[in-house]
Chains A and B, each alone.
Chain A
Amino acid sequence: MQIADDVPPGLTALDRPNSYIGRSVPRPNLARLAQGRAQYVSDVVLPRMAHAVFVRSPHAHARIKHVDTAAAKKAPSVIAVVTGAELAKVITPWVGVLTHLKGLKSAPQHAIAIDRACWQGEAVCAVVARTRAEAEDACELVEVEYEPLPAVTDPETALDPKTPLIQPELGDNLCFERKLDAGEVDKAFAESDAVVETTFMFGRHTGVCNEPRAVVADWNPGEQRLTVYHGTQAPHMMQNLFAKHLDLAEHQVRVLTKDVGGSFGIKVHTYADEMATVALSKLLKRPVKFVADRVESFVTDIHARDHRIKAKIGVKNDGTITAFEIDDLTGIGPYSVYPRTSGIEANQIVNLVGGPYTCMNYRALARVVFMNKNVMCQYRAVGHPIAVAVTEGLVELAAAKIGMDPVDLRRKNLFADDAYPAASAAGLKFEALSHHASTDKLVKMMDYPALRTEQQRLRGQGICRGIGFASFIEVTNPSAAFYGVGGAKISSQDGVTMKLDAQGSISCHTGVSEQGQGAEAVIAQVAATAFGVPMERVRVVMGDTDNTPYGGGTWASRAAGIGGEAAWQAGKALRQNVLTAAGSILQARPEALDIRNGIVIDADTGNERIGLDEVARVCYFRPDTLPPGFQAELMATRHYVPRAWPFAFTNGIQAAYLEVDIDTGFVTLIKHWCVEDCGTVINPQLVDEQIRGGVVQGIGAALFEHCLYDERGQLLNGNMADYLVPMAAEMPDIECGHVVSPTADSELGAKGAGEAGTAGAPASVMNAINDALRPLGAAPLTDMPFTPGKILRALGKV
């Protein structure tokens, strides 16, 4: 890592006196959130605000023959009833493609369906009324005449010639296809001592946010400006898209994102109903609010996963992995989601399978097909949980087949810790990973040998426990390679503007945003450290396109690594500016000064020279006393984007320890471990909680969560009783450990940590279940989520 020039040798820039880097500082927004003083979009109430509710298609696929709005228009308090055709006069449709995903295609999607509804839950008409309740009443009066059309719901037959086309103008139901062939796969399999082949299934699921999607749009015709209060992860991206599709300039649109009650990737997309709400505000010239209710969330919040992967691994008897091969098929919705597309997850899987290992023979095919089901897009850890489960599932099956300990087999094949820079078979570039150090640490944390002994002992008593591992790599800190190069106006760079106020505190305006994960705290820690004030004297301003530098927001584990570095650089720059001013006041050389604990000091002796308040006072109120020609600049802006590497890969390994009740098929999670390497750890507690929360969502995928569709495209369990989110009582203790390999692309050296937990948890749970059941002769379970019924069937009990 780069050593900044202003610190003594042996220490890094991060070790400045009173550094907050590496400390579990309580997050500044804690009290506000805990006292119920947060401001979520649902809390926003504006004068003359109306509520939008959508009539949604009960059919997975139907022609909309007629929409009769007459009765609804007469209902109490109704302001407007608007069909898709009417709204299309104010808002243009969009197409979710990226040019770097070659061949990816999709059809124009409208804010409200016009001729056809293509999934159960798609909005077909909007009702705007003074209250949500009255709008819902009026919705029941809208009469839609549908002609049901055959629904395409099975990915396996989506490409058959006799399957109806969801978007006839596209010519087929294929959204995207990618092939990769690296090394000599056939030869490698032929030369293997053992080959394991199986099919993995990953159930469709979704990210259930505490706060549902919400938007309040306020078009002010007097100002010709649109203000959108939006629970989004990417305010600037949405500013651009609202402008583009409402025929406005970006400067006419302000997106305000205050508190967001969780997002997990769900809130980084363009949603038809949110776009419609914004268009309704423009149409009606008044504020309009839409807050998705829980039931509509299940049929409209993006779904994810839903992959069928035929997979194959070859090994030598000494444990050397010879080749990987996968054939991935995934059924998305009727449209590729805008603007990030529904092709990224499959693309990521192709990229990531085999990623931790040195094996260079790898073949992959991925096909993404349209379905008449809810749309699919990026959800926490995009593709990783699947790629990791496939890779690690194969690795443990291979280890079992050749009779080798699964940890030993990994050690034999993981990239060596001194092998970097390195590249994977799929061409991923690694700057510095620590697979072996992480594995060693994990094995020690869990006391692996003792655990195996305990497992054996309990097996004698008929208790069936399993240990499963998952090594992983994780994409973080994305450069423009993710979206920008594909033509999407999604910023990978981010900026921070820092300014000194008249009393010597700083405000720190950043383009990254807070979703509850603690980005605000991390930015404050970095800013306070870089500039030299206590954290109480830092105010972070985020989520306001009028008042923050242009930036990407929060996704792909980027806020700390990218936003943090921008804050670091801005803090250094402002410190320099303030010291120049102080030097001018004190008649001292700025280089001989520093700022510590909010006071300008002599860098050498630490002697206090002048308070920041005094510097600010002179610069703001008595600039006449400064030398002629000197202009103080008590505000600085810096931007950062990773340039040396397309992504800052992190790595890690997880282990699950669990018990299977072989009578009931129920799984009890006993303990979970995760060691990961996100580079510089800015706030250990926040990192650990990111890992833990991520692990829990991964466990959800492995055991509980599943959007169940029937063959007609009806979602069967779209409510909180039937869709099982993982809950605290069923979760194990999750112990976290860290290895630190900072990225040299930034001075801060921080990589992302938001998705590592989700990436590895499903694989480790799956492997642990199979480890538990293997001695009983059960066929390996590879079909997530692992319900009691599936386990009982594997055991031959039903």
Chain B
Amino acid sequence: MKPAPFAYTKARSVEHAVELAGRDGEARILAGGQSLIATLNMRLSRPTLLVDINGLDGLDGLALKDGAVEIGALVRHAQAGRSDIIAKNAPLIAKAIPHIGHPAIRNRGTIGGSIAFADPAAELPACLVALGGEVVIAGGRGERTVKADDFFTGLFETELGSDDVLKAIRVPAANAATRIGFAELARRHGDYALVGLAAAARAEGDGLADIRLAYFGVGATPVRARKAEAELARGALDDAVAALADDLDPPDDVQETGAVKRHLAGVLLRRVAKQLMEGRQ
């Protein structure tokens, strides 16, 4: 389990990283290394160049800006988990973080790495989708932002091109009407979830509006359960659970069958709906 040979460069700036990544067709950005190094060691990927962005200025910010929380790509999971700004303004992320791996992994793994890697069973991509956030990208042709709903394009595939560096993610800051819910089922603490659900909504009267249900572990990307969202908006929980049959088509994997996952998705919906109704947490 040793990686195939590769070259390594430490980038001097985000621009330099973009340039290095663009110069070499098989370059890969190195952030926390918690996913990348494993794929290298197992020779599942064999980039020719690693561009190390650790320590670059401007990637580890964490701030409330214009009604949004902006989290720099290099913010570590552990750092985000300790942040008051996130606890107050992005409580969904705060709630999700303890479910990511184990402390050692959270100390190294980065928010940007998690979003860029786009593991379909990962927590943060689903949170980003549930919150309707966006991704800030520096590329060869300058900076751009992509909406979360458009960012995740396939299994481990995103809008990031080969010479793109993910700079930050942005999610709308929570307000008094914000409701969030999060639950996942993993066989062992710290495992990627069999099924998970990140949800956000706005309280409106006795009910909920702008419901966004983002499942993870059920498809190639985080999956919005749009029919269930609509049923839930009507206050029809049973119908929302039933609607998952249309919304989700989880494939079998080594742990469980798709049918079991779909059932579990329904259980999670009931649990998360309860959290959404219970008020701001």
Contacts and interface: CB of A to CB of B under 8 A. Distances in A.
Contacts of B267: 663-664
A787 interface: yes
A704 B254 CA distance: 12
Q: How large is the interface on A (under 10, 10 to 19, 20 to 34, 35 or more residues)?
A: 20 to 34
Interface string B15-45: 0000000000000000000000000001100
A450 interface: no
A701 to B, nearest CB: 14
A730 B254 contact: no
B255 A295 contact: no
A411 B254 CA distance: 42
A782 to B, nearest CB: 19
Contacts of B43: 136
Contact of B256 (A140, A295, A721, A789): A789
A730 B189 CA distance: 7
Interface string A726-760: 11011000000000000000000000000000000
B263 A792 contact: yes
Given A664-B264, A789-B257, A798-B259, A293 B189 contact: no
A722 interface: yes
Contacts of B190: 727, 729
A722 B185 contact: no
B65 interface: no
A721 B192 contact: yes
Interface stretch (B1-9, B82-90, B149-157): B1-9
Given A137-B4, A295-B42, A792-B260, A722 B194 contact: no
B141 interface: no
Majority secondary structure of chain A interface residues (helix, strand, loop or mixed): loop
Interface string A681-720: 0000000000000000000000010001000000011010
Majority secondary structure of chain B interface residues (helix, strand, loop or mixed): loop
A123 B259 CA distance: 38
A724 B187 CA distance: 8
A476 B68 CA distance: 66
Nearest to A708: B254
Contacts of A643: none
B187 A798 contact: no
Interface string A266-294: 00000000000000000000000000011
A244 interface: no
Given A797-B263, A798-B260, A722 B255 contact: yes
A16 interface: no
A665 B187 CA distance: 11
Interface in B107-133: none
A485 interface: no
Contacts of A412: none
Interface string A118-151: 0000000000000011001100100000000000
A788 interface: yes
Interface residues of B, number: 24
A727 B189 contact: yes
B256 A787 contact: yes
Contacts of A730: 188-189
Contacts of B255: 722, 787
Nearest to A720: B38
A713 to B, nearest CB: 16
A293 B1 CA distance: 6
Contacts of B263: 792, 797-798
Contact of A788 (B1, B3, B192, B264): B264
Contact of B188 (A132, A137, A729, A787): A729
A40 interface: no
Interface string A295-323: 10000000000000000000000000000
A724 B194 CA distance: 13
A141 B258 CA distance: 39
Contacts of A727: 188-190
Contacts of A716: 254
A645 interface: no
Contacts of B192: 721
A132 B2 contact: yes
Interface of A: 132-133, 136-137, 140, 293-295, 663-666, 704, 708, 716-717, 719, 721-722, 724, 726-727, 729-730, 787-789, 792, 797-798
Minimum-distance CB pairs A-B, first 6 = A133-B2, A729-B189, A293-B1, A789-B260, A717-B254, A663-B267
Interface of B: 1-5, 42-43, 185, 187-192, 194, 254-257, 259-260, 263-264, 267
19 contacts: A136-B2, A137-B5, A293-B1, A294-B1, A295-B42, A664-B185, A708-B254, A716-B254, A721-B191, A722-B255, A724-B187, A727-B189, A787-B187, A788-B187, A788-B264, A797-B263, A798-B257, A798-B259, A798-B263
Given A729-B188, A787-B256, 14 more contacts: A137-B4, A137-B5, A663-B267, A664-B185, A664-B264, A708-B254, A721-B191, A724-B187, A724-B188, A729-B189, A788-B260, A789-B257, A789-B260, A798-B260
